[in-house]
Structure 1
Amino acid sequence: MKIKVTPKLSKLLKERNMKQIELSILTGLPQGTISRFDRTNRHDDLNLFIIARALNVNIEDLFEIEEE
């Protein structure tokens, strides 16, 4: 079984009418880290927890997960 994992932070922010800079301020993470989230396939564990808690979601909610 293969699993395809695609980041979807931009989609979550859009649904919440929130800008990257607002999440940056809320989390204390640099705006560049927030900006690169959907363009990379490597994510720092701590950043995942910080972002998920700030948005009040599970880490899994930051990604689209598809079984292939």
Structure 2
Amino acid sequence: MVKLTAKPCLSKILKQKGWTQLMLAEKTGLNQATISRFDRTTQRKDDHLFTIAYALGVKVEDLFEVTIEEEEKQ
């Protein structure tokens, strides 16, 4: 069995680009509270993912640090 973990890294991307959450909110039309919750929640709307990725010039999968672990069958 494969265990996939996707940890959001929006804050890291914003820091690398020198952007604030407010700047991203203005660029996307999403409110700043939505941007703020991105790294803290487990549920995200699909359209928010694509909107944020497009505004940052990255792929949706770049918004997450993904780890894959193979679990042994018992």
TM-score by length of 1: 0.98
| Higher relative strand content | 2
Q: State the partner residue of 2:39.
A: 38
Q: State the partner residue of 2:24.
A: 23
| Higher relative helix content | 1
Question: Larger radius of gyration, structure 1 or 2?
Answer: 2
Unmatched 5+ stretches in structure 1: none
After superposition, the CA RMSD in angstroms is 0.4
How many residues get paired? Answer: 68
TM-score by length of 2: 0.90
| Runs of 4+ with deviation above 4 angstroms | none
Unmatched 5+ stretches in structure 2: 70-74
